[in-house]
Chain A
Amino acid sequence: MGDKALAMKGGREKASVFSVLARNWSFFFLVLTVVIFSFTGKNFFALNNFQSIIHLATTALLLACAETFVIITGGVDLSVGFVLGLSAVASASTMQLLYAAHWSAPASVLVGIVVGIAASLACGLVAGVMIARFKVPPFIATLGTMGIAIGVSYHICGGFPIGYLPPGLTDIGNMYVLYVHPASGAWSFFARPASIAANQIKELVRIAPISFILIFVFLLLLWHLLKNTRFGQHTYAIGGSMDASVRAGINTRRHLILIYVLSTFLAGLAGIVDLFQSGTGNFTTFGAQLELFAIAAVIIGGASLMGGKGRILASAVGVLLLKVLENGLNLSGVQPFYRYIAVGLILIVAVVIDQLFPDLF
């Protein structure tokens, strides 16, 4: 993990075993929960289950990445959950309209995606300008754009999922990279082997959902952006000291606007992913609290709301921890309600660890 290399550079040179443990507690905790649930959870320790956990975590991972950038600058973006919804319904309704107007499926899908992403970027731009230019606290500015995103989403979809979309969305969204049929030895990429008969489909082993590629590419890109580029360095600097950044000649206003645009871009992308995975344009409900879970994941990954620290891969571990917990508790026969309590407790542990060992991260 290159992320560790940065931490070594930033942190103290002699890392004791203890500090390595405390610094990466969320990772070790994740391993621990996986081990425990492997014993307690029915069908937990199975390729299919692990693949589905990660597959279903795609949108949460994107939101957590968005939140990581914002939180490192010392801000917070409350709008991401509903921007995800806005992007999903805006692109879905565009696709529906165009397809109904006899556009080709690929064309309507493509235009739909562009519309969804554009709507998301607009939210980030508004929030960013208010935060950077008018010094509105990020909490308030993004709460405002969140309200607007909710209202516009409802206007588009009337509160119902948008269906009647061009065919094939879910085929793409839920496609696997590799299909293997162990009995006959047949295998193929991206589609089931042609030689497989319909009654053999059950025996087919599917490996790596297509979402893995997306997750891999984006985690890599964003990790690189944060660790190896000026943009990333300045993101940390702004979170560490706005004053120092200004005096060092960083264009902090432009940088902050870009951060919020990036944040809603990732949220919009998550909306598109959701659309491809579910096949309908789903509006987000208040109960979902997607943004709060994304923030929780980032904090569990070791970031601080005061800004200045946070790591993409650690945030990803935070998301996986929450998702594994949800899945594992469910498969262990625990009522789903306990999930909320578990998230709350882990969050408290995360922050208290951060308080007790402030120099580790």
Chain B
Amino acid sequence: MGYVLEVRNITKRFGGLVAVNDVSMGVQAGEVVGLLGDNGAGKSTLIKVISGVYKADAGKILFMDKEVQIDSPMDALAMGIETIYQDLALAENLNTPANIFLGREKMKKALGFLNVLDHAYMQKESSKILEKLDILIPSLRNRIRALSGGQRQAVAISRSIYWDAKFLIMDEPTAALGVAEQKKVISTINLLKSHGIGIIVISHQMHDIFQVADRMIIMRRGEKVAELVTKNTNADEVVSLIVGAETVTK
């Protein structure tokens, strides 16, 4: 099928609660899939299974057409599956390069024997990646705390891309952003798409999903209730699927 990432029959239970029930889906390279559903529909649980936070009770995950075992967030990162959470997971007291290289700092030898952080290199690489993604940050030396919500988002995305993400999961990327910054995020996602990266976007903003997603997957009460191609559907249909009105009319 040529999916970058595919999940088959994933089930995840918490005690008696079935949070995700037998869900299968796939995302191709350069494709954006919107994941929609009401609160408690199981979207977050599903992406946490993919990103290694939770371990599925049943089902399997295929990455680049090979079945893989994802036991921890580290496993996912090592494969190139990056997740950008709503809270972005940035150290706000550090600057942009420090965050992009966090945990994978570039070292150099000083005086021939001392292993020290290579600040200059990390700074140079950071501006390269930001340029590549067409992202403007006034000064790389500013701490994350001093950046706007959109800029922080951009730093988090840059980090993923710099570390060679092949697959990106974005949790509510436009929430809590101003209108201009929302547009910027949308255009960044489109740019990433053109670089051949597979992306899952979770969002409550129907409008945004319609702008970026090629396909939509709708979940309700842990189950996948529909898979739609964006250009063949409309907001009304999606909403009724999310709240379950469809089943009532049937």
Q: Are B102 and A309 in contact (CB under 8 A)?
A: no
A248 at the interface (CB under 8 A from B): yes
Q: Are B116 and A229 in contact (CB under 8 A)?
A: yes
List residues of A (213-271) whose CB comes within 8 Å of B's CBs. Answer: 224, 227-230, 232-234, 236-237, 239-241, 243-250
> Given the complex, which residues of A lie within 8 Å of B98, measured CB to CB?
233, 236-237
A119 to B95, CA, bound (A): 38
> Given the complex, which residues of A lie within 8 Å of B92, measured CB to CB?
240-241, 308
B7 at the interface (CB under 8 A from A): no
11 new A-B contacts, CB < 8 A, other than A240-B92, A248-B89, are A10-B93, A10-B141, A11-B141, A12-B146, A236-B93, A240-B91, A244-B91, A248-B103, A249-B77, A249-B104, A250-B102
**Given known contacts A228-B116, A248-B102, A249-B103, is B94 in contact with A236 (CB within 8 Å)?**
yes
> Given the complex, which residues of B lie within 8 Å of A229, measured CB to CB?
115-117
A233 to B104, CA, bound (A): 11
> Given the complex, which residues of A lie within 8 Å of B145, measured CB to CB?
359
A360 smallest CB distance to B (angstroms): 11
A60 smallest CB distance to B (angstroms): 26
Give me the interface of B with A, judged by CB distance under 8 Å. 73-74, 77, 85, 87-95, 98-99, 102-105, 107, 110, 114-117, 119, 139, 141-143, 145-146
> Given the complex, which residues of A lie within 8 Å of B89, measured CB to CB?
241, 243-244, 247-248
A261 to B94, CA, bound (A): 24
Those 8 A-B pairs whose CB atoms lie nearest each other, nearest first: A248-B103, A240-B91, A308-B93, A240-B93, A228-B116, A248-B102, A244-B89, A249-B103
> Given the complex, which residues of B lie within 8 Å of A246, measured CB to CB?
73
Give me the interface of A with B, judged by CB distance under 8 Å. 8-13, 224, 227-230, 232-234, 236-237, 239-241, 243-250, 307-309, 359
**Given known contacts A13-B141, A228-B110, A233-B117, is B93 in contact with A245 (CB within 8 Å)?**
no
> Given the complex, which residues of B lie within 8 Å of A10, measured CB to CB?
93-95, 141, 143
A156 to B127, CA, bound (A): 59
B92 smallest CB distance to A (angstroms): 6
**Given known contacts A247-B89, A249-B77, is B94 in contact with A237 (CB within 8 Å)?**
yes
> Given the complex, which residues of A lie within 8 Å of B110, measured CB to CB?
228
> Given the complex, which residues of A lie within 8 Å of B91, measured CB to CB?
236-237, 240-241, 244-245, 308
**Given known contacts A229-B117, A249-B74, is B93 in contact with A309 (CB within 8 Å)?**
yes
Chain A's closest residue to B145 (CB) is A359
**Given known contacts A230-B117, A233-B98, A308-B92, is B103 in contact with A250 (CB within 8 Å)?**
yes
A-B contact pairs, 5 of them (CB 8 A): A9-B141, A239-B93, A240-B91, A244-B102, A249-B77
A313 smallest CB distance to B (angstroms): 17
B63 smallest CB distance to A (angstroms): 18
Q: Looking at B102, B104, B119, B145, which has the most chain A CB atoms within 10 Å of its CB? A: B102
Q: Looking at B85, B91, B117, which has the most chain A CB atoms within 10 Å of its CB? A: B91
Residue from A232, A239, A240, A245 within 8 A of B103 (CB atoms):
A245
> Given the complex, which residues of B lie within 8 Å of A239, measured CB to CB?
93
Chain A's closest residue to B123 (CB) is A9
Q: Are B94 and A240 in contact (CB under 8 A)?
A: yes
Q: Are A9 and B95 in contact (CB under 8 A)?
A: yes
A247 to B82, CA, bound (A): 10
A228 to B111, CA, bound (A): 13
Residue from A8, A237, A247, A250 within 8 A of B141 (CB atoms):
A8
A228 to B120, CA, bound (A): 12
A262 smallest CB distance to B (angstroms): 18
A327 smallest CB distance to B (angstroms): 34
Q: Looking at A237, A245, A248, A249, which has the most chain B CB atoms within 10 Å of its CB? A: A248
A237 to B91, CA, bound (A): 6
B123 smallest CB distance to A (angstroms): 8
Chain B's closest residue to A246 (CB) is B73
A38 to B93, CA, bound (A): 39
Q: Are B117 and A228 in contact (CB under 8 A)?
A: yes
A307 to B117, CA, bound (A): 21
A68 to B40, CA, bound (A): 43
Q: Are A245 and B102 in contact (CB under 8 A)?
A: yes
> Given the complex, which residues of B lie within 8 Å of A9, measured CB to CB?
95, 119, 141
A232 to B119, CA, bound (A): 13
A12 to B145, CA, bound (A): 11
A354 to B164, CA, bound (A): 39
Residue from A12, A249, A250, A309 within 8 A of B142 (CB atoms):
A12
A23 smallest CB distance to B (angstroms): 14
Q: Are B143 and A11 in contact (CB under 8 A)?
A: yes
A304 smallest CB distance to B (angstroms): 9
Chain B's closest residue to A309 (CB) is B93
A307 to B91, CA, bound (A): 11
> Given the complex, which residues of B lie within 8 Å of A236, measured CB to CB?
91, 93-94, 98
B194 smallest CB distance to A (angstroms): 27
Chain A's closest residue to B108 (CB) is A228
A239 to B91, CA, bound (A): 8
> Given the complex, which residues of A lie within 8 Å of B77, measured CB to CB?
249
A9 to B95, CA, bound (A): 8
> Given the complex, which residues of B lie within 8 Å of A359, measured CB to CB?
143, 145-146
Q: Are A233 and B105 in contact (CB under 8 A)?
A: yes
> Given the complex, which residues of A lie within 8 Å of B104, measured CB to CB?
248-249
A289 to B112, CA, bound (A): 43
A11 smallest CB distance to B (angstroms): 7
Q: Looking at B103, B110, B116, B119, which has the most chain A CB atoms within 10 Å of its CB? A: B103
